[in-house]
Structure 1
Amino acid sequence: MLEFKNISFKYDEDPDFIIKNLSFKVNKGEFISIVGPSGCGKSTIFRLICKLEKPFEGDIFLEGRNINTLKGGYIGYMPQNDLLIPWRTILQNSSLPLEIKGGDIKKARHEAEKMLQDFGLEKYKDKFPKDLSGGMRQRVSFTRTLLTGSKVLLLDEPFSALDAITRLSMQEWLLDKWSKLNKTILFITHDVEEALFLSTRIFVTDGSPIRKFKEIKMNLGYPRKRDMIDTPDILKVKSKLIEELKKGAKF
């Protein structure tokens, strides 16, 4: 579904590379979590996929096609902040990707309303972002990301600003939606337990610059329950992940 092929990247004003000769593949329908220390370049990977940054060298392919040949809307990107527009209602915020594509606004709002209904958000459609809790705003942001129509979704620490209980609830909600939507997800997180609970595979950065990922395959089926990550085998994986993150941390 997605392939990085010998990607290197650095900013023009910086002599050091953030990413160097990075290659990896993501299969259709996977849920991949990317974990690593702050500032190591995880979000840059997403920016490269979205063409917000241009590789110094190498190519990125989506379903076998170089992304440089693709027009807008080929990827769904959900950043850390929900970025809902405060003066637009929840329905108007949700329908924004469809409106940007240049379609009929009435039809776009009808499609967005249907998805809000599917996600149990229909009673909030005429409210404004300020009227919703953090968790509800993130659900709306995810709905808007889905309405791009993209097969691959990039979620950059979408739950990092939420309180602990809301975060757990949102993780379960996201898994439920992913299981029904036939989407491929790349998910950046600093939370080891979050990565263990959500992922089919976990990519751990190997330092700076990022040259490769240390890959951990999660041999857990779906649907998942919380106690599944408390088994001895998964607790060993958790310890290994924490040690890897400590190695790469800068103090």
Structure 2
Amino acid sequence: MFARRSSPPPALSSSDPLQPVGTGVELRGVTKRFGQTDAVASADLTVPAHSRLGIVGPSGCGKSTLLSMICGLIDPDAGTVDVLGAADAPGRLARCAWMPQRDLLLPWRGVLANARIPLENQGLSRREASRRVQPLLDRFGLAEFADHRPAQLSGGLRQRVSFLRTVAADKPVLLLDEPFGALDSITRADLQDWLRAMLADEPRTVVLVTHDVEEALLLCDRVVVMSARPGRVVASVDVPPYAGTGAAARRARLADPDFVALRDTVLAHLESAR
């Protein structure tokens, strides 16, 4: 059976207006069109602060479009998007950090120099940005690669740098768009374990887009299913937490009959959503 989490993650300081209080992300009646194509239609989502939401659905159903609207890169044509009390695009962008499908590391920069980019963009000097990022390199297992350029890294390490850069931005909402989609199964499983451990230590609101149902169920506490284009939220499944980290805990989780039943439920919703 699934184990119950011993305690919730610690809350961030309520004195910071960018920190979560209550609802982290809320979409109400959100519609987005591109020309004559309806990408998303009347989508509703509520993501409580510090929770982790997984979004699955057929290709082209508007999952990445939802992330673009949440983080303020585009606005909906109808409906509202609210991120920690901000409904305007600049406010949403100030509260979100997006990890795209591709790592987008700058090839001429080393690991440390890539990781500090968000802080440089906020106006910090390279020296101060490096000082703030340096402690994270140890935590993310990247200290020995600080001066390595992306071409010298494996795919798994590049994705780890990409996630480090996302966390280094120090935003309360993390948007993860197919973060491990291009990796082999062994590296993907290792990074799922690693990411789950990192998120347990990071009090963030997380929205994860993935085509992998098991990945969504392993990393998130709720999974929603979107229909084929135009994308609508057609099902929502709560995911009980489980104890332990690492490969053994993940294998036990995948073999648990309750987990298998939950996976089959989501897959059935996906079949109906096509």
Structures share a fold, TM > 0.5?
Answer: yes
Q: Post-superposition shift, 1:71?
A: 7.0
Q: Is the 8 A contact 1:82 1:138 kept in 2?
A: yes
Give 1:4's match in structure 2, choosing from 27, 50, 59: 27
Unaligned runs of 5+ in 1: none
Report the secondary structure of 2:159's partner residue. Answer: helix
- State whether structure 2 residue 267 is matched by structure 1 residue 236: no
RMSD: 1.5
- State whether structure 2 residue 39 is matched by structure 1 residue 18: yes
For 2:266, the aligned partner's letter is: L
**Which deviates more from structure 2 when the two are superposed, residues 165-174 or residues 101-110?**
101-110
Q: Post-superposition shift, 1:119?
A: 1.3
Match of 1:79 in 2: 100
For 2:33, the aligned partner's letter is: K
User: Given the two structures, how large is their TM-score scaled by the length of structure 2?
Assistant: 0.86
Aligned pairs for 1:74-153 (under 5 A) are 74-153=95-174
Unaligned runs of 5+ in 2: 1-23
Report the secondary structure of 1:76's partner residue. Answer: strand
- State whether structure 2 residue 52 is matched by structure 1 residue 27: no
- State whether structure 2 residue 196 is matched by structure 1 residue 196: no
Report the secondary structure of 2:166's partner residue. Answer: helix
Give 1:160's match in structure 2, choosing from 166, 181, 190: 181
**Which deviates more from structure 2 when the two are superposed, residues 220-229 or residues 49-58?**
220-229
Deviations 1:175-198 (A, max 9, x none): 000000111111111111111211
Q: How far apart, CA to CA, are the structure 2 residues paired with 1:20 and 1:30?
A: 24
Q: Post-superposition shift, 1:91?
A: 0.7
Q: How far apart, CA to CA, are the structure 2 residues paired with 1:40 and 1:8?
A: 12
Report the secondary structure of 1:202's partner residue. Answer: strand
Percent sequence identity is 36
Q: Is the 8 A contact 2:83 2:92 kept in 1?
A: no
Task: Report the CA distance shift for 1:63/1:51 in structure 2 as closer, same or farther (over 3 A).
Answer: closer
Q: How far apart, CA to CA, are the structure 1 residues paired with 2:50 and 2:134?
A: 25
Q: Is the 8 A contact 1:206 1:214 kept in 2?
A: no
Report the secondary structure of 1:55's partner residue. Answer: coil
Match of 2:91 in 1: 70
Give 2:207's match in structure 1, choosing from 175, 183, 186: 186
User: Given the two structures, how large is their TM-score scaled by the length of structure 1?
Assistant: 0.93
